Amino acid sequence: MKRYPHPIIAREGWPYLAVMAGSSALVTWGVGWTFAAPFWILSLFVLQFFRDPARDVPDEPHAVLSPADGRIVAVEKVNDPYLNREAVKVSVFMNVFNVHSNRSPVDGEVRGIWYFPGKFVNADLDKASLENERNALWIRTADGIDITCVQVAGLIARRILCYVKEGARLQRGERYGFIRFGSRVDVYLPPDARIKVGIGDKVHATESILAELK
Catalytic residues: 183
> Do the Cβ atoms of 16 and 47 come closer than 8 Å?
no
Residue 197 backbone zone (phi > 0: left; psi -120 to 50: alpha; other: beta): beta
